Amino acid sequence: MSQYDYQQIDDIIHSRIRLAIMSVLMAVDEAEFIYLREKVGATDGNLSVHLKKLEEAKYITVKKTFADRKPVTHYKLTQTGIKAFEAYIDNLEKLLKP
């Protein structure tokens, strides 16, 4: 491994839950809260906190709609989020495969 600054790893993505959220969202066009919760294996509260952080970083967008009169929340990666995730993977690979 050449000289490496660990801070090149994006800390917003690197949290285990946020990494799982981002990975799920990379694989689908958009996802509902319940779907994310099932895939990630997090509690409601924990998931909400991390989704909020990703939203604040503008890595995801949140859209609220109604289905059968029930509120449904959809999450989707932004272009910023997709680029950040790709850069994260690149940096991780550089770190792990010297």
Give me the residue label for tokens 């090149």: 8
**Cα(87)–Cα(50) distance, rounded to whole angstroms?**
20
Please give the size of the binding site for a copy of itself, defined by CB under 8 A. Answer: 26
Q: What sections of 6-78 are H helices per DSSP?
A: 11-14, 16-27, 33-40, 44-56
Smallest separation (angstroms) from a copy of itself to the CB of 64: 24
User: Would you say 10 and 54 are in contact if contact means Cβ atoms under 8 Å apart?
Assistant: no
Closest Cα partner for 18 from 86, 97, 85, 96? 85
* Contact mark string toward a copy of itself, 59..98, x via CB under 8 A: ------------------------------x--x--xx-x
Closest Cα partner for 47 from 81, 16, 78? 16
Residue ranges in 8-27 that form contacts with a copy of itself under rule CB under 8 A: 9, 11, 14, 16-17, 19-20, 23-24, 27
Smallest separation (angstroms) from a copy of itself to the CB of 86: 11
- Give contact residues for a copy of itself (rule: CB under 8 A): 1, 3-7, 9, 11, 14, 16-17, 19-20, 23-24, 27, 38-42, 89, 92, 95-96, 98
